[in-house]
Structure 1
Amino acid sequence: MTRKVKTSGAFIIAAILLASCSSKPPVSLVTPVTKPAHPASPSQNQEPVRGVWLATVSRLDWPPVASVNPNNASTRVSQQQQALKNKLDNLKSLGINTVFFQIKPDGTALWQSKILPWSDVMTGKIGEDPGYDPLQFMLDEAHKRGIKVHAWLNPYRVSTNTKPSTVAELNNTLSDQPPSVFVLHRDWIRISGDRYVLDPGIPEVRDWITSVVAEVVSRYDVDGVQFDDYFYTESPGSRINDNPTFQKYGQGFDSKADWRRHNTQQLIEQVSRTIKQLKPGVEFGVSPAGVWRNRSFDPAGSDTRGAAAYDESFADTRKWVQQGLLDYIAPQLYWPFARDAARYDVLAKWWADVVKPTNTRLYIGVALYKVGEPSRKEPDWTVNGGVPELKKQLDLNESLPQISGTILFRENNLNQPQTREAVSYLKNRWGS
């Protein structure tokens, strides 16, 4: 597999950005909605996705915390690479065919980037060369085993906290090549949800994120690109201060909420078009919060009472499907059948109806992390090791022709004592 293209990466990115900004996008950019209302069945397109998210933020799934030893680089590299190979061997034995690998957990990279500094998750220090390219290593090892890799990026997060030590570390990248966006474009940085984030309302920020995606797609043999649900990610006590941005760019919008949704829409359109111009075969997907809107707010919404992507993250995820901007959507349906406020079956069927008249594939995100965990509101996760609940969810996914796969959140939960029975069940159901 070729890692780099012959053409200059900077030239490609500049050309793509010009194309992205020069004209109003067509109604449909990926899968025309004017086609007959027959969803593409997995058997025609591909086998059903049996996927897992592999998180690197805070080293949740990988690399092993114990491997981050700056005193012995060669031991660190071999430990990290061996741990990843062991994980992939295990995933293959379970019948997993797709890994959603987090390559941009914040404002840093798990690939050799000319735009972002190296992530500290490998070495403990932002900007320090880990001695190998984790994304390329993952691609080589996964593809060897017949497993596809989707590059999972968090678009706007710059850091996971705002501690003085984090600020100092980000500032220390000023002399690095490349330095952090935190020091290069301080005017783009806001605080939201007690993290440093990029302001989604600034057009140059969306261009910058698009250039990051373009770099990955043009240089690496990834099977897909996925954004998670972190678009506008506020918390009640830590709202993003985008009033100055709204005053500058928000003319003509009835409300700040409409303007924010427009900003998220612009990013998705730009990234979608860029990927298709660079490599049409690379899939683009989003994994949003499971509820688009509640029916109490919108008659088109689901019969639920949960936090809604449209109103909380300012992401009109249903519209992206209808416009054909995505190859797939993977809503996080992290509730059991018995959770009245957001029933699994109600939401799965709602999403199946949304994708039905389109060619956007639907993969369902399932809450493996809840299996075996005692919960007063969701006791079903502990009944018989969570197997009956998991079975009901997988059965429903396989019974609806519009659902093209399941993704488990997240990889390290496959290795926990409380999920042992569920993992054994998965292996019997999916494994070879």
Structure 2
Amino acid sequence: MWLATVSRLDWPPVSSVNISSPELRINQQKKALTDKLDNLKSLGINTVFFQVKPDGTALWPSKILPWSDVLTGNIGQDPGYDPLQFMLDESHKRGIKVHAWFNPYRVSTNTTPRTLAELNQTLSLNPASVYVLHRDWIRTAGDRYVLDPGIPEARDWITNIVAEVVKGYDIDGVQFDDYFYTESPGSALNDNQTFKKYGLAFNSKADWRRHNTQQLIEQVSRTIKQLKPGVEFGVSPAGVWRNRSFDPMGSDTRGAAAYDESFADTRKWVQQGLLDYIAPQLYWPFARDAARYDVLAKWWADVVKPTNTRLYIGVALYKVGEPSKNEPDWMVRGGVPELKKQLDLNESTPQINGTILFRENYLNQPQTQEAVNYLKQRWNQS
């Protein structure tokens, strides 16, 4: 299960941030988390991907990043406890593994004047935000502040953050999500100057960008294995590597492709053994012609087959029970038949080692209850 903290999507509860008493706030946040873990255990979930770096802030006492404002409402304010340590203690007590989930390049979720003011105010803090410490690394893309992935020092900085967590905590794994180069049509990343400085040896800007993402993955993979070989490293990329219309090795799909849009050669990382696992986000039903669930699951199974990389499939719990013109199957009988087909395929394909649901708070929504009851029957045999 993915448990997202960015914008407080799954945790902590929004209401907790407005409590004036620190003690009550801490108690509410801790209870909300243990309630969720009890629920996950009752469902049969054995691993949680806990978002410890949702943007340029941290959910642990970092010497590199300021405290996350999701905890208190203010960037850099000490929440009075260590959420990552609490999460680890409570999960491990329940027999649940925890992978620390990092968003490598995002600095903020928007570029509003208020966000800008909050980032600038961290200058007096120790540590201050990367936004004020390394203004020259910051770009705007997808209407967010992000780090420019083409800057070697920025990649070193991300690697150091991962190393801090791997060294300091008894985590079971590290995961990066699919936000590498993230642009939107009206808000592209302007990395022309960076390209001029570092990229002129490459045939194209796209090749150079893929090289940058590759460098980050290599660095982080190597660092984790040097520090604690038992800590797993995985990536959860967009579900389509490349479409066959662009590349004969690609899948028979017509979806946004990680290789061409995020500049992430995810297939290569598997082939090179840089990852312990890959968790492609296959957020479509069997009937979605442009990106069929079964077509992609089998394509990924073939990719991992000759390697030692394990394959977990990311499944769209957030779509279950939701009306959709293009994907009506999520509505049929509460989404149970579609979910059953996906899990049946995962469990009957030897190369698929498990399923990850996106994301935790959808367990608590009215539209998913039939599916949740089905999962309880299916997974929790105890």
Task: Provide TM-score, normalisation by structure 2.
Answer: 0.99
Which amino acid letter does the alignment assign opposite residue 349 of structure 2?
Answer: L
Q: State the match for 2:176 in structure 1.
A: 227
Distance 2:18 2:182 in 1: 33
Which amino acid letter does the alignment assign opposite residue 373 of structure 1?
Answer: E
Structure 2 residue matching 1:92: 3-state secondary structure:
helix
Equivalent residues in 2 for 1:31-430, closer than 5 Å: 52-69=1-18, 71-430=20-379
Structure 2 residue matching 1:162: 3-state secondary structure:
coil
Structure 1 residue matching 2:212: 3-state secondary structure:
helix
Distance 1:376 1:211 in 2: 44
Distance 1:370 1:406 in 2: 16
Gaps spanning 5+ residues in structure 2: where?
none
Distance 1:268 1:308 in 2: 18
Deviation at 1:73, TM superposition (A): 0.7
Deviation at 1:69, TM superposition (A): 2.3
Gaps spanning 5+ residues in structure 1: where?
1-51
Structure 1 residue matching 2:233: 3-state secondary structure:
strand
Q: State the match for 1:28 in structure 2.
A: none
Structure 2 residue matching 1:348: 3-state secondary structure:
helix
Which amino acid letter does the alignment assign opposite residue 2 of structure 2?
Answer: W
Greater RCO (CA < 8 Å, at least 6 residues apart): 1
Structure 2 residue matching 1:336: 3-state secondary structure:
coil
Deviation at 1:70, TM superposition (A): 5.1
Which amino acid letter does the alignment assign opposite residue 368 of structure 1?
Answer: L
Percent of counterpart pairs with the same letter? 85
Structure 2 residue matching 1:191: 3-state secondary structure:
strand
Structure 2 residue matching 1:350: 3-state secondary structure:
helix
User: Which runs of at least 4 in structure 1 moved beyond 3 Å after TM superposition?
Assistant: none
Q: Is the 8 A contact 1:152 1:228 kept in 2?
A: yes
Q: Deviations over 1:37-68 (max 9, x none)?
A: xxxxxxxxxxxxxxx00000000000000110
Distance 1:69 1:335 in 2: 37
Q: Is the 8 A contact 1:108 1:119 kept in 2?
A: yes
Q: Is the 8 A contact 1:70 1:124 kept in 2?
A: no
Structure 2 residue matching 1:166: 3-state secondary structure:
helix
Distance 1:386 1:340 in 2: 18
Q: How many residues align?
A: 381
CA RMSD of aligned residues (A): 0.4
Deviation at 1:252, TM superposition (A): 1.0
Q: Deviations over 1:175-227 (max 9, x none)?
A: 11100000000000000000000000000000000000000000000000000
Distance 1:95 1:267 in 2: 34
Deviation at 1:71, TM superposition (A): 1.6
Which amino acid letter does the alignment assign opposite residue 158 of structure 1?
Answer: V
